[in-house]
Structure 1
Amino acid sequence: MRTRHMNSLAGITVVTATALSLAAVPTAASGHRDHVVHPGESIQGAVNAAQPGDTIVIRPGTYRESVLITTPGLTLRGTGGRTVITPAAVKTAKPAKAAKGPAAAKGPRAANACAAGGNGICVVGTKGHTVDDVRIRSLTVSGFGESGVWSSWTDGLSVRRVTASKNGTWGIAQERSTRGDFRRNTATANGDAGIFVANSVTEEGGATDTGGTLVVDNSVTGNRIGVTARRVRNLVIDGNTLTGNCSGVFVVGDESKPAAGAMTISGNRILKNNKFCPATPRLSAIQGSGIVLTGSESTIVRSNVVRDNVGSTPLSGGILLFKSFVGALNTDNSINRNLVRGNKPADLANRDTAGKGNTFVSNTCGTSVPAGMCAE
């Protein structure tokens, strides 16, 4: 779980588009428009020209740019794997400087702030002015140094049928945001988490309420961690398929208040997450981890299929409770009705014996530490 400094995206305003060959087509009575972008044209130019409620339609092709969205209500829509957003060619120009406030970033440089942060698509508001109800649909974002899709200070962001692959840190990431909806996406071979939900990546502090963020029906493979929920509360991780990562689902809490948790992890298929990831300054080596709770409270882990996650690290096994690396305990978590088989060194493991109120009930498994937690 690496902390990233995303300050270059804070408080940004976008310049007006100029002289681009983009077709803007009014839709029905709503007055909203479709802005159609063809290969060789600028997605950012269309975003700059759009008004709340407009749709940016991206035709099949490869687009070498980063896209910054600060206008609420926009839809960015591609054609699945045929619409690819990838980094621009390296230029010798100086990178954009970090913005100091809402009016600090002006002129052409503002449009490059997402690229300066190493990200593909950015949806960015401010503490006092969130960017609401943006939708990203059916496109591929690949090869960026940081995140494929990055969001901060948003409400109601919806990302669906997006493929985020081979990005340096996160595939799809959200911080300081509420009511996100991440559904039917594919996140593969990203450097850290395929899908990442956090309170903040630049500050320490207690867990924040995500307002019911949903991580649902995604396919997440070959990342360091499949889904990370870091210092957040009130979200659902349901129906995802997570395989070939070092760890499937990782809930991270710390000693700050409120604690992480109050979430539901249910109905996921978590299979053979046996990739080896070496230790970092913040975390020990990971291999063969299905679901890991550290420093979590009141989390429900229910009706998951967790199979064949095998490793020999302290975090290896099917479903584990592990004391937070900064000393926070797991409390009042419920692990029930899961099918947990073929995981090593154990299907269920409570390695946080100082934690209070944690229950393991009606789980179908073969081995547990301590013994006796599997249903007969």
Structure 2
Amino acid sequence: MFRHALLILIALGLAPSAAAADLRVPEDHKTIQAAINASRAGDTVTVAAGTYAERVRLTPGVALRSRGDDAKGVDGLKRAEATVIDGGKEGKLPGVVMAEGSTLDGFTVTNVGAYDEATWKKHFDSKGEELGDEEGSVRAEGTTPAVSIHGVSCTVTHCLVHHNGDVGIGILGKEKVTTAPLIADNVVFRNMGGGIGIAEGAEPVVRGNTCRENLRAGIGCRKADPIVIGNLCSGNVRAGIGCREGAKPVLRGNTCSKNRRAGIGIRMEGTAPVVEANTCDENEMAGIGCRDGADPVIRKNVCRKNKLAGIGCRDGAKPLIVGNECKDNEAAGIGLQGRADAVIRKNTCGGNKLVAIGVTEGSQAVITDNELSRTGGQPPLVAVKDGSTATITNNRITGGGVAAVLVQGKATISGNTFTGGGKGQGNAVWIWEGSTATVSDNAFDGYRTPVSATKATVSITDNAIHNFQGTAIIVKDGRKPPHVTGNTARSDDPQAKVADVQGTAGLVEGNTVVTGEKK
């Protein structure tokens, strides 16, 4: 009767399963690998504090955990600091090989391959300029990750992965296999490759990790689509977070600071990350940099005190840049060069030492609804140079150096509000020789000369001008007959003029000066 009932249960998929076991190291098994080999799916191998001179391979569905609670230590959890998998430097196997459904929780993984302080220091000093493009990359042939995840979904959490000879945690996808591990709350540092490397179609969630002082990026992804959320990446020899070769990650809520190159670096055609709500500060290059045809969405980030631009784009990059705060950077707030093509909308750029927005070297930009300001300094707030093209509309522009907007290229400037620091402020819009500009429907207040153009092609219409000095609009030797119409200027100077057009005659009419009253 019992046998008959059991057969029915098996047929219905309801047969009782063996209880999950807890295999203890070193009490039950002297080595971690021996305990893993004796385990089955659903079992847990728990490991006492100590140093274990081995490299281990997990089996499907098995959890490997250090013993103890989640008390904090110096770098991570105390139990992770006290429970060490030591790879012994020599050998080609990873320190830990993950399996489908397995868990690695609370270990130090170190000494997998040789960490070389002198080599690390050399590349740190050169900002990685002498580092080979594949050296230490997770996908490079012969690379041995300290923790290897290849074509499996698993969990790696609360580990310390440091002073290893290649990448710290390496995640590689596999064709026709979903590779979606969870990598959470680890501390990954001083590895001779990237901190966490992701490639070949992997789709991990990488959350809450600290990646610092690694030889490549703190977190790097190539041909992969991870979700990278809430990580701290600092002091890495290359970018804090890097993505390239068609990667399409979501990078959200990360802090990237004091990295030797960009905070977040994006490159290559087809690379299209969503870069949102990150903080990138005090990096040695741009806060966020994109190049080589990449087309990221960059929105709601804070980029401050970086050595180059807050957001820098070059070499054919095609970013959408929306709602970012770029302040107090050593170069531009947002800079385009090398035929970049960007939409720049609803950003705040203040206190940057060079320009708020620079469009140079044949680049193109739509610049709309931004807050742009700087107190003091000679550079303009917006520079359109080197034959570049920009549409500048509905921005609020405060201050400026030699000009608020400088044009040496082509520009449409309309619907903006310009606020200077008084009649000594200089030009609001300065249009250089050989340039073409349309300046219409703007409000100018507090510039000595609101619009100045020399040997350029210009249309200057329907602007409202306050608090200027002498003549509001000066056009000299236009390359084509200028249009200067419908502008209104208010001044308390009875000698004030709206427009002085010298040289080639054009259409100059309907301009009105209202004197004898202040704004």
Deviations 1:97-135 (A, max 9, x none): xxxxxxxxxxxxxxxxxxx42421112xxxxxxx42111
Deviations 1:77-113 (A, max 9, x none): 01311100102486xxxxxxxxxxxxxxxxxxxxxxx
The answer to whether structure 1 residue 148 and structure 2 residue 128 are counterparts is: no
Q: 1:303 to 1:375 in 2, by over 3 A?
A: farther
Q: 1:309 to 1:30 in 2, by over 3 A?
A: farther
Between the aligned partners of 2:219 and 2:312, the Cα distance in structure 1 is: 20
Q: Secondary structure of the residue that 2:263 maps to in structure 1?
A: strand
The answer to whether structure 1 residue 222 and structure 2 residue 222 are counterparts is: no
Q: Is the 8 A contact 2:291 2:317 kept in 1?
A: no
Q: Segments of 4+ in structure 1 off by > 6 A?
A: none
Q: Which has the higher contact order (CA 8 A, sep 6+)?
A: 1
State the match for 1:19 in structure 2. none
State the match for 2:63 in structure 1. 75
Between the aligned partners of 2:301 and 2:334, the Cα distance in structure 1 is: 13
Q: Secondary structure of the residue that 1:45 maps to in structure 2?
A: helix
- What is the number of residues matched between the two proteins? 272
State the match for 1:271 in structure 2. 257
The answer to whether structure 1 residue 288 and structure 2 residue 264 are counterparts is: no
Please state how far the C-alpha of 1:29 moved relative to its aligned partner: 7.9
1:58 partner letter: V
Please state how far the C-alpha of 1:294 moved relative to its aligned partner: 1.0
Matches within 5 A, 1:80-229: 80-88=80-88, 116-123=91-98, 131-145=99-113, 146-154=144-152, 156-176=153-173, 178-199=179-200, 208=201, 210=202, 212-224=203-215, 225-229=217-221
Q: Is the 8 A contact 1:365 1:375 kept in 2?
A: no
**Could you tell me the percent identity over the aligned residues?**
27
Between the aligned partners of 1:195 and 1:118, the Cα distance in structure 2 is: 17
State the match for 1:369 in structure 2. 335
Q: Is the 8 A contact 1:362 1:375 kept in 2?
A: no
1:350 is matched with which residue: 291, 313, 335? 313
Q: 1:31 to 1:193 in 2, by over 3 A?
A: same
Deviations 1:282-338 (A, max 9, x none): xxxxx332101112443210111100001xxxxx31101121xxxxx213x210111
Q: Is the 8 A contact 2:250 2:273 kept in 1?
A: yes
Q: Secondary structure of the residue that 1:369 maps to in structure 2?
A: strand
Between the aligned partners of 2:220 and 2:251, the Cα distance in structure 1 is: 12
Deviations 1:133-170 (A, max 9, x none): 1110011111111322112121x211000000001111
Between the aligned partners of 2:371 and 2:205, the Cα distance in structure 1 is: 30
Between the aligned partners of 1:375 and 1:55, the Cα distance in structure 2 is: 56
Q: Is the 8 A contact 1:38 1:61 kept in 2?
A: no
User: What is the alpha-carbon root mean square deviation over aligned residues?
Assistant: 2.1
Q: Secondary structure of the residue that 1:350 maps to in structure 2?
A: strand
Q: Is the 8 A contact 1:288 1:344 kept in 2?
A: no
Q: 1:338 to 1:30 in 2, by over 3 A?
A: farther
The answer to whether structure 1 residue 337 and structure 2 residue 300 are counterparts is: yes
Q: Is the 8 A contact 2:267 2:294 kept in 1?
A: yes
1:50 partner letter: S
TM-score (norm 1): 0.68
Q: 1:343 to 1:30 in 2, by over 3 A?
A: farther
State the match for 1:305 in structure 2. 279
2:81 partner letter: G
Q: Is the 8 A contact 1:182 1:216 kept in 2?
A: yes
2:102 partner letter: V
State the match for 1:93 in structure 2. none
Q: 1:190 to 1:301 in 2, by over 3 A?
A: same
1:270 partner letter: C
Q: Secondary structure of the residue that 1:237 maps to in structure 2?
A: strand
Deviations 1:170-202 (A, max 9, x none): 111111251110000000100111111111xxx
Pair member with larger Rg: 2
Between the aligned partners of 2:196 and 2:107, the Cα distance in structure 1 is: 16
Q: Secondary structure of the residue that 1:53 maps to in structure 2?
A: coil
State the match for 1:317 in structure 2. 286
Q: Secondary structure of the residue that 2:264 maps to in structure 1?
A: strand
State the match for 1:37 in structure 2. 25
Between the aligned partners of 1:344 and 1:338, the Cα distance in structure 2 is: 17
Between the aligned partners of 1:55 and 1:157, the Cα distance in structure 2 is: 14
Gaps of 5+ in 1: 1-27, 91-115, 124-130, 200-207, 254-258, 274-286, 311-315, 324-328
Q: 1:157 to 1:299 in 2, by over 3 A?
A: same
The answer to whether structure 1 residue 64 and structure 2 residue 53 are counterparts is: yes
TM-score (norm 2): 0.50
